[in-house]
Amino acid sequence: MSNTVDINVHHVTRVEGHGNIVLRARDGKIEKVEWQVPEAPRFFEAMVRGRPWSDIQTIVSRICGICSITHSFAGTKAVEDALGIEVSKQADKLRHMTHYAEYMQSHILHVGYLAVPDLLGAKSVVPLVATHGDAVKTVIRLHRAANEWSDWLAGRTTHPVTIKPGGFSRNFSDSEVREWKARLEKEVVPDLKAIAGVVLSLADKLPAFERPTEYMALTHPDYYTYYHGKITSTDTDEEVDIHEFERVVNEYVSPQSTAKWTKWHRDSYAVGALARFNNNADQLLPLAAETAGKLGLKKGCGNPYMNNVAQVVECVQAVEHALQLMDELLTAGLKEETLPDVKVRAGEGVGCVEAPRGILFHRYVFDKKGRCERANICIPTNQNHANIQKDFEALVPGIIDRPQDEIRLMMEMLVRAYDPCISCSTHYLDVEFV
Amino acid sequence: MAIKLFKKAALKKWVDSLIAGGRVFGVQAKGERFAFGPLEKAADLRLDYDVTILPPKKYLQPQTEDLVKFSKGGGYESVIDSEPFVLLGVHPYDMAAINQMDAIFLKDGEVDTHYKARREAATIVACDVESPSENVFAGCMGTAVVDKGYDVLVTAVDGGYVVETASPRGEKLLAAAGEVPDASKKDMKKRKAVQEKNRKRLRKHELKGEPLGLPCLLGKSENHPVWEEKARLCYSCGSCNLVCPTCYCFDVQDDTDWTLESGRRYRVWDACLLADFAAVAGGHNFRKERAARFRHRYYRKGKYIPEKIGEIACVGCGRCITACTAKIANPVEVYNRLTEGC
Amino acid sequence: MSKPRLAIFDFACCEGCQLQIVNLEEEILDLISLVDPVEWREAISDQSDTYDIAIVEGSITRPEDEERVKKIRERSKVLIALGACAAIGGVNKLKNNFDMDDVKKCVYGKDADLPHLNTAMTKAVDEVVPVDFYVHGCPIDRDEFKHVVKSVALGKKPNIPVYPVCVECKLRENVCRYEFNELCLGPITRAGCGARCPSNGSWCFGCRGLAPDPNVDAAKEVMDKYKKTVDDLRDRILLFNSKQEHADV
Amino acid sequence: MGDNGKDIYLPAAAEVVRVEQMTKQEKFFEFRLASGKPLGHMPGQFAEVSLPGIGEAPISISSSPTSGDTFEMVVRQVGNVSGAMHRLEPGDEVGVRGPFGTTFPVDGELKGRDLLFICGGIGLVPVRSAINYVLDKRGDYGKVTVLFGAKTPGDRLFVDELAALDGREDVEFLETVDDTCGEKWNACVGVITMLFEKIEVSPESTTSIICGPPVMYKFAIMGLHEMGFTDDRIYVSLERRMKCGVGKCGHCQINGLYTCQDGPVFRYSDVAEVREAI
Ligand SMILES: Cc1cc2nc3c(=O)[nH]c(=O)nc-3n(C[C@H](O)[C@H](O)[C@@H](O)COP(=O)(O)OP(=O)(O)OC[C@H]3O[C@@H](n4cnc5c(N)ncnc54)[C@H](O)[C@@H]3O)c2cc1C
Ligand code: SF4
Ligand code: SF4
Ligand code: SF4
């Protein structure tokens, strides 16, 4: 063993904003292996101070362009919690449906535009147009459907306008719901099945790397949740109330990162699709469970590269549950609702939802005029940073003999498997434009 | 021409049969307000509406309307929309406005082929006002009742609707209703009473003096302080123009597909209150001041267009009063100020 | 004629505007047929590159980013500011209403002084270098983006509205938000979004920036008519238009 | 006018026959309609010139109808259409609608009268059509005086034709520049109204035609008044923002008047009292 490696990926492409990989090894001895995050900090927690409760969603949505709906929900739920605002059953169902639009959009982007080309050894989706035209078209069709779904419910694809404390700013009609139900059934479900087939045919190409990991997720007694519930992890049977989230995330500042890092029972934990799956797989709806089975995804999986497979399963779950909710809405018939009058008061609230890439927490304290005094926002990508570092430390010794390019690729693929808030930095964009 | 009395159910049946037979646009509720839109079923039609947010002109001169298309090697080609449609529930003041649009687009100077095609494709069912809107003053402008332009006129009276056809096209439309009894003398009297009442009650604002005195009044009011006073609060948002049934100014733009060689030229509603409406190359703006633009609108309604077509170009629908967020666009207030002098 | 070379760069932002480009779906291929994208992320090391068109997304929040955007400007013929963060500073400018040390302490506590957490007053791109064209909005409107790119390729000035959102709101036949007792910034905000928020039952919060020569004085007086205060107006303007010209209410 | 079933917004194809750079900002174009027919204009009129994807702009017709089947224009590069026109080459195609608007009454009341043309800068472009028309039918008119003012010597349009005018016995021609900008210049320096002192015209028998930048009108008209001209003996050609050219779009309105239909050529007495005109 005499491999000398010097990898310094300054701003890994195809990941969110700015992340660096540093690996230095002399004669097979690892001197430094680091995942660094030098993203320009944006200080949202500072910026929301002094803003009225009614602005929270508008501001925090802008934390992330790809999971803006999730941030809107976390922020809005925290406001509702603090000010005691009720949300109707109908609005709650519509919110779940809105959330699922984002899931589809985000997961498809990640799986379709990033993971699949990686697994096919293609540099991007572009060469696949020639070799796998149908699959590419299917991915694009799904992505478009997800965006239009979000346009419909959230008012736009990114940065929703309809989500307000207490419900929605507009009403939806039976015929709109019926139209979408038909589209999901006729177009989206078959397309998802097709994509699952593509992923299945490639699943054996995923690196077989396992590391025992703590997986944290939201859990709910009634359903595979992304929206309501309590915090749990694969290391515990405890279900922690979301109001105590600081107790489980244990944030700290790492010198490698402008983003804060987190830990619970171990040095690090993972969040995201695989984490949700590992905690809640028993609650998957039939088609989603069937898809997981076909793809060989089993509860207890410790391979971070399998996150992509879990994402496919979750897309199916999202659509399946949306269809269920649509049926329920149509059976009851959609009612015209107006937003509740909000009695402004001092208060503190927490909102917690699952973003496509993991559990997300927002906490706000409002003064008696309903202005924000303090905020604490803990985003999923930050919760994964430490785990990526630990994965690196476990992965690299086993592959240090391989050629530098291969090591580099496997490290990059690992980062990408976590889908660290990737929005614009996927394969699709990156390679297509080189 | 026929005059029938429809019971509510018969009217509904007739409207449903029209919907089955082609494109029908009718007045429907939009929250607390009303709007013309594609009608899916007669039950959605609200002939008892007060006023629609936008006037029905949007079907004759749509917000955006393709004029010509072009393609590489193919040069320019006209785009004409002549697909027939029925417009259900046009109030008299809006009908009067359409009559004015006809004068501008079909009679004054060159004929606008695009407007003409749509106008000829339209079968207009007018209806007398059942519920006056909060700002209507059609009664003052002589447009509370209208006697021309439409194909069918519907008037809600006690016990049903008096439906009168006024053109062969209207006759044809009515034929779809099947057997309906003629209106009796008594029904006709009731209709007259409704119209008389409307002349009196569509006056939520009272214009001092006769509308036809406006050109003369404006002729001597160019320097009246009211223009500055009101325009101080003007957002230059054009809302007063855009909701107006007699405003028809437009902008023209080109748009291409990704080849950059094929595309369309379209017109889109413009508004003379907008800051750059009269701006030209070199940065000169012929109506740079808010007050100048504000004044221009009232002159256009009360003097310039009347000098062209012989009718006051304000039909008293009151939409601009409602639409103006700054609450300065009430024509009656403005004209009355002029009447009072400085 | 060879295709114009296009490069895209991001600074402090949520990257939602770039996502709108991805959301063009199949049309991305059309875009590529028109321009030749030579750089999408800064990962390309070749600093001597020049671009016909540089698209810059995000606000400038650190001294080192100022230097970076200056370099980009030097290397590009046309520079387009993409989205509210780049065009007006956007929501990032809320930060400028506080003291920078306080901002850092608020988020990072005792670690606030670590060098990599440094931050400065947020700037829009045109506060650092000249900008040729703007694609406004948070996020941008896909159709407007297409229009701007096509216009630049055609050699014409894009037609970006200078009038307020109310125009498009009227064209969409919405019920005015003031009738719902809401404070809408439509009358002083630059149109171009198709009045997206009022069309979805919400007030405009001004993400496209103030319209040129907005009548803010009128807005102040008008508040009274709707039982709102100048403070309410200021609050709403600050959200996306902190430290803009005309925004000092 | 009236309804001939023709789409008034549909441009006809015309081919670029000749392009010449005139000044830094202005280019000269000669066009021929694809139909081969003459445009059918009279001096003072304009046409809407189209480039697909770019748009349309109203441009004056600079040639006299007496000069054959082609027509000529001069375009200053200021924006989209004008900018794209500057990229045209012979053989390229444009769309043309028109001619539109009123004309200098060369066949009407100008006949038999003395004529005083006052042109500032690009204002020469529409007036050139009338000047050439008059010169082609020289016998029909009395004394002809042409005054031309440019910003600098480099901004002068139709340099050769100006020289030819200068050389003609039957035309009095005077010109000035605001600033020589260091160039060689033998004629007058100063604003165009300075030339008024140097000419001899009889206001009773003369009609004046003015075209120039917006600021010029006021001063030129003041000068003419001092010389004894009455408003009905003055013609002006005005410019406004225009979108349709056919009196529908509303943009070119000067109070109640439409520049595209009632103008661009106006008898000054018809607009003297119109607030927004001059
Ligand atoms: C009757 C008539 C005759 C004419 N004859 C000639 C002629 O012979 N030769 C000639 O060169 N020109 C002539 N013009 C002027 C010409 O039509 C204009 O300069 C213009 O329409 C050119 O079009 P464009 O597309 O190049 O400019 P545009 O792209 O429309 O812009 C022109 C200029 O106006 C500014 N502008 C555009 N829109 C606005 C706005 N909304 N607000 C503020 N400024 C704006 C632009 O910034 C630019 O500087 C004539 C005009 C008229 C009305
Ligand atoms: S609606 Fe009112 S504020 Fe807007 S342009 Fe008209 S007068 Fe001005
Ligand atoms: S809702 Fe807002 S944008 Fe729409 S008209 Fe009212 S003030 Fe203008
Ligand atoms: S309505 Fe206002 S806030 Fe909404 S998208 Fe348009 S400019 Fe932005």
Q: Does residue C80 lie in a domain region?
A: yes
- Partners of residue C219 in chain B, C-beta under 8 Å: 235
Q: How far is CA D138 from CA A296, A419, B233, D65, D146, in A?
A: 97, 83, 58, 15, 14
**In sequence order, what DSSP letters do the residues of D203-259 get, joined into one string?**
TTTEEEEEE--HHHHHHHHHHHHHHT--GGGEEEE-----SSSSS-S-TTEETTEET
Domains annotated for chain A, with CATH where assigned, are: 4-36 (no CATH), 44-425 (1.10.645.10)
Single out the residue in C91, C118, C153 at which a domain terminates.
C153
Domain with B140 in it: 3-201
Please give the C-alpha separations between residue B255 and each of A78, B264, D170, in angstroms, as whole numbers.
Answer: 45, 5, 51
pLDDT-above-70 percentage for chain B: 100
Q: Which atom of ligand 2 is nearest to the CA of B329?
A: 7
- Cβ of B307: how many Cβ atoms within 10 Å? 11
The total number of structural domains that make up chain C:
2
Quote the CA–CA distance of C164 and B273 in Å, as a whole number: 11
All residues of chain C having their beta carbon less than 8 Å from the beta carbon of residue B274 are 162-163, 167
Best substitution site from C172, C184, C197 to test ligand 4's pocket, by max atoms within 8 Å of Cβ?
Answer: C197
Q: Which residues line ligand 1 (CB under 6 A)?
A: B 276, 279-281; D 46, 55, 57-60, 73-76, 78-83, 122, 125, 239-240, 242, 264
Specify the pairing of strand B33-38 against strand B23-30. antiparallel
- Which residue, judged by its Cα, is nearest atom 17 of ligand 1? D58
Question: Looking only at Cα atoms, what is the longest distance across chain B?
Answer: 67
Interface of A with C in 111-170 (CB under 8 A): 113, 140, 143-144, 147, 155-159, 161-162, 164, 168-170
Query: Which pairing describes strands C76-82 and C133-135: parallel, antiparallel, or unpaired?
Result: parallel
Binding site membership of C204 for ligand 3 (Cβ less than 6 Å): yes
User: Which pLDDT score, from 0 to 100, does residue A258 have?
Assistant: 61
Per-residue confidence of chain D (278 residues) as pLDDT tens digits?
A: 456 778 999 999 999 999 999 999 999 999 999 999 999 999 999 999 999 999 999 999 999 999 889 999 999 999 999 999 999 999 999 999 989 999 999 999 999 999 999 999 999 999 999 999 999 999 999 999 999 999 999 999 999 999 999 999 999 999 999 988 888 888 888 888 888 888 888 899 999 999 998 888 989 999 999 999 999 999 999 988 888 888 889 898 888 888 888 989 999 999 888 777 77
Minimal CA separation from C133 to chain A, in Å: 21
Residues 60-89 of C with CB under 8 A from B: none
CA C232 to CA C223: how far, in whole Å? Answer: 9
- CB-based contact A195:A135 (threshold 8 Å): yes
Model confidence at A16, pLDDT cuts 50, 70, 90, reads very low
Name the residue with the closest Cα to ligand 1, atom 18.
Answer: B281
The reply to whether D133 falls in a domain is yes
- B106 and B216 in a single domain? The answer is no
Q: Which of D43, D109, D35, D106 is nearest to D72 (CA)?
A: D43
pLDDT (tens, 9 = 90+) of chain C, 249 residues, equals: 578 889 999 888 888 898 899 888 888 888 888 888 777 653 333 444 688 999 999 999 888 899 999 999 999 999 999 999 999 999 999 988 888 888 777 777 766 776 666 778 899 999 999 999 999 999 999 999 999 999 999 999 999 999 999 999 999 999 999 999 999 999 999 999 999 999 999 999 999 999 999 999 999 999 999 999 999 999 999 999 987 777 777
Q: For residue D72, give the H/E element and its range.
A: strand D71-76
Whether omega before C139 lies within 30 degrees of 0, making that bond cis, reads yes
Q: Verify that B195 and B267 share a domain, yes or no.
A: no
C195 in contact with ligand 4, CB cutoff 6 A: yes
Residues B81 and B29 in one domain: yes
Q: What is the CATH number of the domain that holds D119?
A: 3.40.50.80
Q: What is the 3-state secondary structure (H, E, C) of chain B?
A: CCEEEECHHHHHHHHHHHHHHCEEEEEEEECCEEEEEECCCHHHCCCCCCCECCCHHHHCCCCEEEEEEEECCCEEEECCCCCCEEEEEECHHHHHHHHHHHHHHHHCCCCCHHHHHHHHHEEEEEECCCCCCCCCCHHHHCCCCCCCCCCEEEEEECCEEEEEECCHHHHHHHHCCCCCCECCHHHHHHHHHHHHHHHHHCCCCCCCCCHHHHHHHHHCCCCCCHHHHHHCCCCCCCHHHHCCCCCCCEEEEEEECCCCCCEEEEEEECCCCCCCCCECHHHCECCCCHHHHHHHHHHHHHHHHHHHHCCCCCCCCCHHHHHCCCCCCCHHHHHHHHHHCC
Residue that terminates a domain, selected from D100, D125, D141: D100
Compute the distance between CA of residue A71 and CA of residue A66 in angstroms, rounded to an integer: 10
The single-letter DSSP state of residue A69 is H
Last residue of a domain, one of C119, C153, C187: C153
Do residue C154 and residue D54 have CB atoms under 8 angstroms apart?
yes
D→B contacts (Cβ < 8 Å), by residue, are 1-3, 5-11, 13, 50, 52-56, 76, 78-79, 82, 93, 95, 213-214, 239-241, 243-244, 246-251, 253-256, 261, 275-276
Are residue B91 and residue B174 in the same domain, yes or no? yes
**b/e burial code for range A234-266 (CB count within 10 A of at least 16 → b):** beeeeebebbebeebbeeebbebbbbbbbbbee
Q: How far apart are CA D83 and CA B281, in angstroms?
A: 12
Q: What is the mean pLDDT of chain B?
A: 94
Threshold 0.95, pTM exceeds:
no
| Look-up of token digits 């929301």 | A48
Q: How far is the CA of D70 from the centre of ligand 2 (A)?
A: 47
Those chains having 3 or more beta-carbon pairs within 8 angstroms of chain B are C, D
For D38, the 3-state DSSP assignment is coil
Q: Per the structure, how many domains does chain B have?
A: 2
| Best to test chain C binding among D50, D56, D77, D80 (most C CBs inside 10 Å) | D80
Could you tell me which of C206, C212, C220 has the C-alpha nearest to residue C248? C220
What percentage of chain B reaches a pLDDT higher than 90?
83
D-proximal residues of C, 154-173, CB under 8 Å = 154-157
Chain B residues whose CB is inside 8 A of the C147 CB are 255
Shared domain for C197 and C109, answered yes or no, is no
Q: Do C37 and A47 touch (CB under 8 A)?
A: no
Using only the alpha carbons of chain C, give its radius of gyration. Answer: 19
> Using a CB-CB distance cutoff of 8 angstroms, which residues of chain B are in contact with residue D246?
109-110
Nearest-atom number in ligand 2 for the CA of B274 is: 5
Do the strands D46-51 and D55-60 form a parallel or antiparallel pair, or are they unpaired?
A: antiparallel
Q: Are residues C142 and C224 in the same domain?
A: no
Nearest to residue A34, comparing CAs of A416, A388, A407, A430? A388
Q: How many structural domains does chain D have?
A: 2
Specify if C247 maps to a domain: no
Secondary structure E strands in A224-346 = 230-233, 252-253, 260-261
**Mean pLDDT value of segment B285-289:** 87
A248's tokens: 């489980």
- The residue range of the domain holding C55 is 5-153
The answer to whether A266 and A386 are in contact (CB under 8 A) is no
Same domain? For C12 and C104 the reply is yes
Decide if pLDDT at A14 tops 60: no
Which pLDDT score is estimated for A122? 74
Q: Which residues of B touch D11 (CB under 8 A)?
A: 68, 76
The whole domain housing D197 covers: 114-237
Residues D82 and D121 in one domain: no
Same domain, D71 and D155: no
Q: What is the pLDDT of residue A132?
A: 86
Do B60 and B192 have their domain in common?
yes
Higher-confidence residue: A415 or A85?
A85
**Is the CB of C196 less than 8 angstroms away from the CB of A46?**
no
- Asked whether residue B152 falls in the same domain as residue B11, the answer is yes
d(CA C61, CA B229): 44
The CB of C189 under 6 Å from ligand 3? The reply is no
Per-residue pLDDT, A430: 26
Measured in angstroms, the CA of C67 and the nearest CA of chain B are apart by: 34
Check if the beta carbon of residue A159 is closer than 8 Å to that of residue A68: yes
B299: nearest Cα among B220, B233, B234: B220
Which residue type, as a one-letter code, is found at position C160?
I
Q: C79 and C13, same structural domain?
A: yes
Tell me: do B106 and B10 sit in the same domain.
Answer: yes
Final residue of a structural domain among C153, C185, C211: C153
CA of B237 to the centre of ligand 3 (A): 9
Both D123 and D218 in one domain: the answer is yes
For residue A17 the two structure tokens come to 């904003």
Inside any domain, residue D173: yes
Show the tokens assigned to B9: 């159910």
**How far apart are alpha carbons A396 and A33 in whole angstroms?**
8
Q: pLDDT tens digits, residue range A62-88?
A: 998 889 999 999 999 999 999 999 999
pLDDT at A6 over 80: no
Is residue D274 in some structural domain?
no
Same domain, C126 and C170: no
Q: At which of B175, B201, B227 does a domain end? A: B201
Largest CA distance in chain C: 59
What distance lies between CA A305 and its chain's CA centroid? Answer: 15
Torsion of CA C150, C155, C160, C162, to 10 degrees: 180
Domain membership of residue C248 (yes or no) is no
In a domain, B51, yes or no: yes
Four-residue CA torsion sign, A345, A350, A355, A360: positive
Asked if residue A308 has pLDDT above 80, the reply is yes
